[in-house]
Structure 1
Amino acid sequence: MELFKSWVAILTIIMFLIGCSSKDTLNESKEDKEVTISYASWNVGTEEEKNIERLMIEEFEEKYPHIKVEIDDSIPNEKWNDGLAAAASSNKMPDVFMLSQIPTGIANEWLLDLTDLAADDEDFAKVPEVVRESATYDDILYALPAGQQFLGYFVNKDLFNQENLNVPENGLNMNEFADSVRNITNIRSGQVGLNNPLAILDWYPAAVSETLGWYTYTEEGYHLDSKEFINGLNLTKNIVTNNYSFESLTDEQKSNFNGENPGEVWASGGMGLVWDGTWALSNYENNLEFDWDFIGIPGGRTVVANDYMGISKTTKHSEEAYLLIKWMSFGKEGYLKRIETAVEEDKVLNGLPVTTDEDVLDAYFEIQDLPGLRAAYENLEKGVIEPVKAVPGYVQSRWEAPTGVGIEGNPNANIHGLLEASVEGEIKIEDFISQINKLANLKYQEGNEAIGQ
């Protein structure tokens, strides 16, 4: 698959668009006053690597010579929230910082109210609505998007064509999805439908209902006792029981495959669909030797997974801090510069455009022309947020909350363990789903109370 076009043509288009958009932004009348912004992010790499994030910071300083950006590397990547808490307690909070979870930042009173800063920003207005809403609590904007990815399935088009089967495309319905997974599976020939069946539990409700989100989430809470969730669990169970997923196979069955893990089996061409994120695009382009595409989830709703950045309540330079995040993420001029820099410096273009701006999307698709990815952008108006970084208490509601129910090898299984046991046939979900739903909503309520909602 040829995703990358002529660099000369790309740069010509991008330079033209940058010239048209360079009349930015926010109070450039302050250019005579030099300020320093401290910036903490887990994706800046090292000085020696000089990845695209560091190059973008250099471009920002060139664009705004009165603003110096100082990278704060005192926050450990593996203990991000602990590092931010320590910085806050010692009055050394970075002006701008990545957020593992927005609710944690709200509960600890780290975050500046950004509502007024973003109110009249044309670039922020072009951030997908579902993303803007995900960072807004009680009508207060607490965070800004700092990178965007889509979640969903990638398809091995060659494998389906080889078997004379219809190639799944973005927007396929649920029956077509199930048929594709089943029909492509041939264990003896080293072919299997997909990798991770448990992902279905999360996306299925949103795929069959316009009112439910990821894992049945709505603003009112979870609806795990709904027919949508039960049907998704039963589909997952069917895929596991019939050995349509690599991770549910026995070791003997796996010996038929060219690869020891799902990633290797996918890369070798033995898997029809793989659940992954668009962060894998560069890896796939460089390493896969078959024709592939991104098809998202059945039904066509786009699943959005974002990073977020916040501005410290203690900052003395809120407008400059906002301008920096905008440049690094959702601003038109900044993202066009990111594309130009990636092409000129031969760097990986990490992250999708966090905007619906047509000029930006046209420039992006000059270098990344996957049909399924274009379709995903067209469907953003009915997008679904993957809620781990935005919904209060989600980690407890989805995985970690203990249920008090004993299963084999665990006298007090957590929610995830109980759902997995039901998929594997160890328990009947009907006996426990009401309890699980109540517990998930209790943790959601507790999460909301922690941030004053």
Structure 2
Amino acid sequence: MKKIFVLFMVIVLGFGLAACKGTPTDPGTDPTSPTGTIELTYADWGDQEFNKRLIDAFMVKYPNIRVTLRSDISGSGATFTGNLITAAQAGLLPDVFAIDNVPVGINNGLALDVASLWDADPDTALVYDNIAFTGVYNGKRYAVPSFQFLKGIMINLDIFESANLNTVPGQYRIDNDGYPVKDWTHEEFVNIAKAIKNFDLDNTENLVVGLDTWYGSPDFQQVWPMMNDADVQYDTWDGTQFNYTSADWIYAMQEKVALHQLTDGTTTRVTPEVYENNPVLQQYLINAGYGAMDIEGSWQFWVVNDAASRDINIGFWPYPSGSAGLFPPTILDYQMVSSQTDHPAEAFLLAKWMTFGKDGWNARLDMLEADRNAALAEGEIPRFLDRFPVANYPGVWDRVYALVDGIEGIEYTLNRIEHSKPDLDKWLPGYNLFWDWVYNPENQYNWDNLVEAGPTAVATYAVQWQNAANGFVQDELENLGSDN
């Protein structure tokens, strides 16, 4: 019965849109335009030259739609979103735009509910389940996922080759090339960071810092639990609540705190005095050649090119696996269709082309392949693909692999991409408020106090953090979109 109802709604929607403004697969015309052409605007904080090329290809495929790339919405991230809000207040919101935080966009009235358009589109059936359920609140879809960025471990291949590490039973495994095995565990990862470090600040040519961390501290408690339980998402989110009092979260946080307390070169955290007196430590260490490993996102793949230009060889290893296997952690970006658009069906079509759609991805890949061939012809290292599809389109992923050829180790992550578990930062309401609470110096249970208290305090803090996280998120999630 449910499937028949859904099919009926899709048919009704299709006829309704065709009668009004055209469906996403059959764009109409604008009778108010002298030429009948539909005019749309688009904005994001990415590579504007590449955006222009992709938009030009869109207009070739859909000649009745003309798209203008908005350059007046400046900045990136939260600044970009703030400028969108300002534009909306003046009635000048682009028809399609990237968004740094989906709930912020909804609460400021920026987003159109595109659930009916999404549900009627056959491409969306191929979007990975762990990604497709995001951006939906109280039955309304206010955002479409654009790309997933990989989270993994950059490793300095030269440092590992020189270190001559060998497998130590019960501690870590090393492959025949002198690198960590790609199915390494969380414990092996930590042990290798400790084993490979050489905190020689007197002879910096020998300096090796074991691990650069995720924005200043390890991200273990967000990632490790989801590797041990196939049913748990990022940061123990299960679709309803966080589970910080679980044994997996407590263990991961204990390991995180213990590692973060070290100032001996195991990680990039050192005492202020050592940092100030040693400029060598003030660099981006994986790029400078002093970091052995770095928890990093694929948007930093430029480092692979930059380091290679200085004869430093960087690989991208999978994030260490847990007892349930490897569920690659990914970072999601989103776009919205404007609440102010006069052409929702065509705007959705543009959003799809620029983000998750198969046709848009094939156009993107055509351009990237041409760029890659041109770079190779000039004897240059081509720019690597740094963002990845959110859907399992036949043929697309075959082409993706070729665009990261030359990054040692990445294929292990890509081979498990259908099992990826995305982060929560840009789409889960209240999550950013929770992290503000975590780092608030007036909060008795803040992060700095936990580090000072040490691993034995984690179980106590877990109760407070879990209550706070669930409180912030559930308060926001309950009503988000209900009045829009």
TM-score (norm 1): 0.82
Moved more, 293-302 or 238-247: 238-247
Closer/same/farther in 2, CA of residues 351 and 223 from structure 1, 3 Å limit: same
Note the C-alpha offset of 1:104: 2.1
Note the C-alpha offset of 1:252: 6.8
State the distance in 1 between where 2:313 and 2:81 align: 41
Note the C-alpha offset of 1:322: 1.5
State the distance in 1 between where 2:181 and 2:29 align: 50
Closer/same/farther in 2, CA of residues 73 and 224 from structure 1, 3 Å limit: same
Q: Do the aligned residues in 1 keep the contact of 2:137 with 2:480 (CA within 8 Å)?
A: no
Note the C-alpha offset of 1:278: 0.4
Residue matched to 2:12: none
Q: Does 1:26 align with 2:25?
A: yes
Closer/same/farther in 2, CA of residues 169 and 330 from structure 1, 3 Å limit: farther
State the distance in 1 between where 2:254 and 2:439 align: 21
Residue matched to 2:474: 445
Q: Do the aligned residues in 2 keep the contact of 1:402 with 1:414 (CA within 8 Å)?
A: no
Note the C-alpha offset of 1:301: 1.3
- Residues 78-157 of structure 1: matches in 2 within 5 Å? 79-157=79-157
Q: Do the aligned residues in 2 keep the contact of 1:181 with 1:244 (CA within 8 Å)?
A: no
Residue matched to 1:71: 69
Moved more, 128-137 or 102-111: 102-111
Note the C-alpha offset of 1:374: 2.6
Residue matched to 1:178: 190
Let me know the Cα RMSD of the aligned residues: 3.0
Q: Does 1:57 align with 2:93?
A: no
State the distance in 1 between where 2:290 and 2:92 align: 51
Residue matched to 2:14: none
SS at match of 1:247: coil
Amino acid aligned to 1:63 = K
SS at match of 2:413: helix
Amino acid aligned to 1:419 = W
CA deviations 1:327-350 (Å, max 9, x no partner) are 212222322222222343568555
Note the C-alpha offset of 1:450: 4.4
Q: Do the aligned residues in 2 keep the contact of 1:163 with 1:184 (CA within 8 Å)?
A: yes
Closer/same/farther in 2, CA of residues 390 and 366 from structure 1, 3 Å limit: same
SS at match of 1:151: strand
Q: Do the aligned residues in 2 keep the contact of 1:400 with 1:414 (CA within 8 Å)?
A: no
* Structure 2 residue corresponding to 1:274, chosen from 273, 290, 294: 294
Q: Do the aligned residues in 1 keep the contact of 2:145 with 2:355 (CA within 8 Å)?
A: yes
Amino acid aligned to 2:50 = I
Amino acid aligned to 2:450 = S
Closer/same/farther in 2, CA of residues 28 and 107 from structure 1, 3 Å limit: closer
TM-score (norm 2): 0.77
Moved more, 297-306 or 194-203: 194-203
Note the C-alpha offset of 1:169: 4.2
Q: Which runs of 5+ in 2 are unaligned?
A: 1-22, 166-173, 201-205, 376-381
Identical-pair percentage? 24
CA deviations 1:289-322 (Å, max 9, x no partner) are 3433222322121112121111123322122112
CA deviations 1:93-138 (Å, max 9, x no partner) are 3211211211223333432222221224333322222221112233
Amino acid aligned to 2:403 = I
CA deviations 1:141-191 (Å, max 9, x no partner) are 221122331112112233223222212244322222222222212223412
- Residues 309-320 of structure 1: matches in 2 within 5 Å? 309-320=335-346
Residue matched to 1:190: 207
Q: Does 1:324 align with 2:350?
A: yes
Q: Does 1:377 align with 2:407?
A: no
Amino acid aligned to 2:329 = V
Q: Does 1:38 align with 2:41?
A: yes
Residue matched to 2:282: 261
State the distance in 2 between where 1:252 and 1:92 align: 50
- Residues 352-367 of structure 1: matches in 2 within 5 Å? 352-367=388-403
- Residues 199-348 of structure 1: matches in 2 within 5 Å? 199-242=219-262, 243=264, 245-250=266-271, 259-261=280-282, 263=284, 265-288=285-308, 289-299=311-321, 300-345=326-371, 348=383
State the distance in 1 between where 2:93 and 2:316 align: 39
Q: Which runs of 5+ in 1 are unaligned?
A: 1-23, 46-50, 405-409
Amino acid aligned to 1:27 = D
Q: Do the aligned residues in 2 keep the contact of 1:151 with 1:276 (CA within 8 Å)?
A: yes
SS at match of 1:388: coil
SS at match of 1:432: helix
Q: Do the aligned residues in 2 keep the contact of 1:190 with 1:256 (CA within 8 Å)?
A: no
SS at match of 2:395: helix
SS at match of 2:361: helix
Q: Do the aligned residues in 2 keep the contact of 1:190 with 1:258 (CA within 8 Å)?
A: no
State the distance in 1 between where 2:346 and 2:197 align: 54
SS at match of 1:260: helix
Closer/same/farther in 2, CA of residues 176 and 321 from structure 1, 3 Å limit: same
State the distance in 2 between where 1:433 and 1:206 align: 17
Note the C-alpha offset of 1:29: 6.2
State the distance in 2 between where 1:182 and 1:403 align: 27
SS at match of 1:401: helix
State the distance in 1 between where 2:481 and 2:123 align: 30
Amino acid aligned to 2:473 = Y
Note the C-alpha offset of 1:274: 0.3
Amino acid aligned to 1:86 = T
Note the C-alpha offset of 1:208: 2.8
Q: Do the aligned residues in 1 keep the contact of 2:439 with 2:448 (CA within 8 Å)?
A: no
Residue matched to 2:462: 433
State the distance in 1 between where 2:433 and 2:248 align: 21
SS at match of 2:340: coil
State the distance in 1 between where 2:236 and 2:274 align: 34
Note the C-alpha offset of 1:371: 5.6
Amino acid aligned to 1:126 = L
SS at match of 1:309: strand
CA deviations 1:379-432 (Å, max 9, x no partner) are 2333211111011111112x212798xxxxx4x1386xx224323446933443
